[in-house]
A and B are shown apart, each in its own frame.
Chain A
Amino acid sequence: NAGVTQTPKFQVLKTGQSMTLQCAQDMNHNSMYWYRQDPGMGLRLIYYSASEGTTDKGEVPNGYNVSRLNKREFSLRLESAAPSQTSVYFCASRPSGGVYEQYFGPGTRLTVT
């Protein structure tokens, strides 16, 4: 049981390049999330998926797109990377029912130059 996995662990992009961050969970959770973490700003929600086939914008969605490919996988795409998107990105998942805590992946450290 690997939990939540993310690839890649590190990435350097030039301004304007695109890339997709991958996330997968093997816990049969319904909900999945993408956050970004910046120093002194905690975690900010980018996008959220309550179940396969549904996605909703979070607090900071501009410049990002997501795909909930199936129940296991939730990807985050940067179409045209900007230096302001330099951050650490975390994927998380949550089971359904009355359980509200989230389970986090190890993160992707992205630098945009």
Chain B
Amino acid sequence: AQSVTQLGSHVSVSEGALVLLRCNYSSSVPPYLFWYVQYPNQGLQLLLKYTSAATLVKGINGFEAEFKKSETSFHLTKPSAHMSDAAEYFCAVKISAGKSTFGDGTTLTVKP
């Protein structure tokens, strides 16, 4: 069965530093993978998705993620953190035609 594991429930970076949020997946078939962001007191919104077209996926707000089959990873990165990036981030994988399963989330704190 497909699943995702997010490594690190909390990540703290300084403004301007690299952001790296880790996600590993388990899937017996080529996966569809997603990163969502949740700002305080809001619903989730899609940051980016991997659908096998390209291994490096660019999303909104300067985020990108690289699909690495050999490492079963789909880590989210941003070269330079902004204060506005403080949020909770969820990795997800499609598990059936209609459903996805979500990781437990990583809270990103950005220090001035």
Bound Cα distance A31, B46 (Å) = 17
How many Å lie between the Cα of A106 and that of B43 in the bound state? 4
A110 is an interface residue with CB less than 8 A from chain B: no
Query: By the criterion CB–CB under 8 Å, are B43 and A48 in contact?
Result: no
Q: Is the beta-carbon distance between A107 and B43 smaller than 8 angstroms?
A: yes
Q: Which of B1-48 contact A (CB under 8 A)?
A: 9, 32, 34, 36, 41-46
Closest chain B residue to A4, Cβ basis: B43
| Bound Cα distance from A102 to B100, whole angstroms | 9
Residue in A31, A42, A106 whose beta carbon sits within 8 Å of that of B98 in the complex: A31
Please give the number of chain B residues whose Cβ is less than 8 angstroms from any Cβ of chain A in the complex: 21
Report the separation of the CA atoms of residues A50 and B105 in the bound assembly, to the nearest whole angstrom. 26
Inter-chain contact B43/A101, CB cutoff 8 Å: no
Please give, as numbers and ranges, the residues of chain B lying within 8 Å of A105 by CB-CB distance.
43
- State A38–B41 Cα separation when bound (angstroms): 13
> Is residue B94 within 8 Å, beta carbon to beta carbon, of the partner chain?
yes
How many chain A residues have a CB neighbour from B under 8 Å? 22
Asked whether, in the complex, the Cβ of A40 is within 8 Å of the Cβ of B104, the reply is yes
Cα A85 to Cα B99 with chains together (Å): 22
A49 vs B90: C-alpha distance when bound (angstroms): 22
Given known A40-B104, A107-B43, contact A101–B34 (CB-CB < 8 A): yes
Q: Chain A interface (Cβ within 8 Å of chain B)?
A: 4, 31, 33, 40-43, 45, 48, 50, 58, 90, 92, 94, 100-107
B→A interface (CB under 8 Å)? 9, 32, 34, 36, 41-46, 49, 90, 94, 98-105
Rank and list the top 4 A-B pairs by shortest CB-CB distance, nearest first. A104-B43, A42-B104, A42-B102, A104-B44
